[in-house]
Amino acid sequence: MFTPMTEPSTTSTADRIVEVTGLCKEFAGKRVVDDVAFTVLRGQTVALLGANGAGKTTTIAMLLGLLLPTAGSVRVLGEDMVRHRHRVLGRINFSSPYVDLPRRLTVAQNLLFFARLYGVPMPKARIAELAAELDLSPLLRQRIGQLSAGQKTRASLAKALINRPELLLLDEPTASLDPDTADWVRGYLEVYQRRAGAAILLASHNMAEVERLAAQVLMMRRGRIVDRGPPAELIRRYRPRDRRRRPGCPHPG
């Protein structure tokens, strides 16, 4: 059942965007992430798939350095995220439906603020470029608080791409979106990933989303990676018996 994710031995360190080994996190003695290990290569999209409480968001938080691991190591772009996260934070970015942009600022003000925070060269040109790509141009003067859920997601995505990240971490990128908007966002991420050659790590409980976007899937349950492999392989492996034997596992179809 368990297939280790491996990469060719010729893969250089520079191509290993994320290297996680033996990652554990405990809260009040309860282990919520348990011995997680994986690698994300440059240009690769990897998905953490699991039900709510599986440990996906906690894993992403540790990758970002928002949360300190109890044990194990996280290296992003070659840097230890516990000790030297500030060396690489300008080269990665993050979006989550559980984190908002300041509601009283307009879309343009938000993007300019984050562009300056990330030291983006020629920020206004970059904002215009993203606004055109993400169909945000008519919304630039609107406050974030006035936007619909789909528009907010596009604005958050623009913020997450403002610094042309080499690693993009997305927590539930299409949560609470209608199917059409969700589909549009997935399409855009595919285009961005191909064009920029960035690595993407996304957390999702939506197998359809994972199947479309990810080359590799890490299936998480109760804090552990219980299986991994390409989406098609996992679907083949689980579809017939998933409903009968593993009710706690997200439906991979």
Partner 1 sequence: MTGRVVSAAGFAPSRIAAMVLRQVYLMRASWPRIFELMYWPTIQMVLWGFMTRFLMTNSSYIAQASGVLISAVLLWDVLFRGQLGFSITFVEEIWSRNLPNLAVSPLRPSEFLLSLMTVSLIRTLIGVLPAACLAIVFYQASVFDLGLPLLAFFVVLIVMGWAIGMAVIALILRVGLGAENVAWLAIFLIAPVSAIYYPVSVLPGWLQAVAWCLPTAPVFEGMRAVLIKGVFRTDLLIHAVLLDVLYLTIGAGLFLYSYHVARRRGLLLQIGE
CA dihedral 26, 65, 76, 100 (to 10 degrees): 120
What angle, rounded to 10 degrees, do the helices at 179-196 and 149-161 form? 10
d(CA 33, CA 23): 7
43 lies in the binding site for partner 1 (CB under 8 A): no
Q: By rule CB under 8 A, what count of residues binds partner 1?
A: 47
109 lies in the binding site for partner 1 (CB under 8 A): yes
DSSP 43: T
Residues 182-211, one symbol each (x = binds partner 1 by CB under 8 A, - = not), give: --------------xx--------------
Taking CB under 8 A as the criterion, the residue among 21, 73, 80, 91 binding partner 1 is 91
- The closest alpha carbon to 154, from 139, 134, 178, belongs to 134
Q: How far is the CB of 144 from partner 1 (least distance, A)?
A: 9
246 lies in the binding site for partner 1 (CB under 8 A): no
Which distant-in-sequence residues (6+ apart) come within 8 Å of 137 by Cβ? 128, 131
**Furthest-apart CA atoms within the chain: distance in Å:** 55
215 lies in the binding site for partner 1 (CB under 8 A): no
Binding positions for partner 1, rule: CB under 8 A: 27, 57-58, 61, 64-68, 86-94, 96, 98-106, 109, 112-114, 116-122, 126, 143, 159, 163-164, 166, 196-197
